[in-house]
Structure formats: structure tokens, C-alpha cells
Amino acid sequence: FPATPMCCLLWTVAGDVEAAAPGPDLLHVRMPPALFSGPRGYPLVSYNPGPVHSFMVMLYPAALHALTGIDMAALFDQVRPLAPLFDADWLALSGAVLAAPDDDARIALVEAFLAPRWALARKSGDQPAGAIQDWVRRLGVQAASTGVASGARNIERRIKAWAGQPMRTLRRMRRAEQSFLDAREAMLQGNASWTDIAAEGGYADQAHLCREVRAITGLSPTELARASREDESYWVYRIWA
């Protein structure tokens, strides 16, 4: 899984998930069936010793902060069990998701739970976010226009509390996402040029692009392109929109 500004609620409905990275202290640690993953600054690898059925909900961290009041900065690079991080209502949802008969029922449970809470938490005038680049842009505007104190430090504190990461890191991920999408489109058309993609993405050169892609995904652009096409383990890149 790549580094990401997103948060994730992950339920293992059947089978087992073991942490395979980062670091030897987490190798072969069996993870509980309900997990929360905060915004992450490095790629993460998990291992399934057998067949597995997982159900994942991804949320923008600012939205989760609005729903729960949880400081996202404290959860940066954290993977934790849902309890005691979330309250009884969220834990009841978690139990219902694990007990549901199929994924359609799980989707219905999550939507029914989130919709009324988001209607209350959502600030007037907010519009649904699209790609990460749109969300990052809106987050900066919202942080600058919220509260009495509007100095640079106060804006940065709000961004870290809402998103878990500083704006410079979010912008780096935004640029990488757009470059990944541009590369995928170029590969589909058969005219991919990493030099051109790097230039269009605002990187100093192709080597700069390669360093950024490796830091976020653990792979070079060429390796990532191959893995996202051929390796089932990289399914997340194939559904990236």
C-alpha cells in the first residue's frame, strides 16, 4: 500500500492479516479483525498466510476529524485497533460490519451510519472532494479561512490536526498522484515517457520523479507500472481513480 494522506478502516471478514513492514519488530504480527490506519508517510506491506476477505473504507482525514474530533496528527503513521480510539457507536458499526452476510450489506451499514453524521458535521458550503489534488487545494483554503488566528503557524496547526501531515507533504503526494495518473494514461496510449511525465509534473528531472515514487510506493516508476499491471498484490493501484 502506498504512502497516503487518507485514513482507512479495515475489517478482515475471513482469513488473517499479518504486518510485514515496517521494521523487524512488526514482522509476522497477526492483526486484529478491525483496524484503523491513519495518514501514512511511507509504503506499508501486509501478508496474508491464506485466503482472505477484507472490507475497507477510506476517508479523508479532515472528514474523519469533523466526524470524531480525533486529532489526525497524533495518528500519523499509526495502525491501531478501533477500540479505544472510537466511541461505542463506531464500535457497534464495526461489529455489525464483521457480522454482515455480504459486502452489499456492509456498504449499506456504513452508508446508513455515516450519512446522518456527515450531514451534521459537514461545514456549510463544503462540496464533496474528488481526487487528492482537489482535496489538498480545498483544505488549504479552508484552513486559512477558519478561526480568528490566520497566521502561517496557526494555519499549519489546523492542517496537521485535520489531515495529520503538513501542507508541503500533502502537496508532494498530490503531485505524485497526478503524475501516476498521467503515466497510466500515457501507458494506455502507448507513448509513456518518464522524462516528459517528470517535466509535466514539476519535478526537477526524471531522477527526482523516481525518488518521489519510490518514497511513496517502495518501487521505481517502471517497477510500479509493471506491478500495477501484472501483480495481484498491487490491486490498489489498478482501482486508483
Q: What is the pTM of this model?
A: 0.65
Non-local (6+) Cβ contacts of 52 within 8 A are 12, 14, 15, 16, 17
Q: Is residue 230 over pLDDT 60?
A: yes
Give 194-212 pLDDT, tens digit per residue.
888 888 888 888 889 888 8
Grid coordinates of 185: 494514461
Grid cell locating 69 = 474530533
pLDDT at position 125 = 45
Percent of the chain scored above 70 by pLDDT? Answer: 81
The three-state secondary structure class of 153 is: helix
Q: What is the pLDDT of residues 91-138, one digit of tens each?
A: 999 999 999 999 999 999 999 999 999 888 875 444 444 555 566 666
The answer to whether residues 106 and 97 touch, using CB atoms and an 8 Å cutoff, is yes
Strand locations in 27-167 (E): 29-30, 34-37, 46-47, 53-59, 79-81
Cβ-Cβ contacts under 8 Å for 38 (sequence gap 6 or more): 7, 61, 72, 75, 76, 77, 78, 79, 80, 164
- Structural domains of the chain sorted by starting position, each given as residue range(s) with its CATH number in brackets: 7-121 (no CATH), 132-167 (no CATH), 175-238 (1.10.10)
Rounded to whole angstroms, the Cα distance separating 53 from 29 reads 18
Report pLDDT digits (tens) over 140-153: 656 666 655 567 77
pLDDT of residue 24: 47
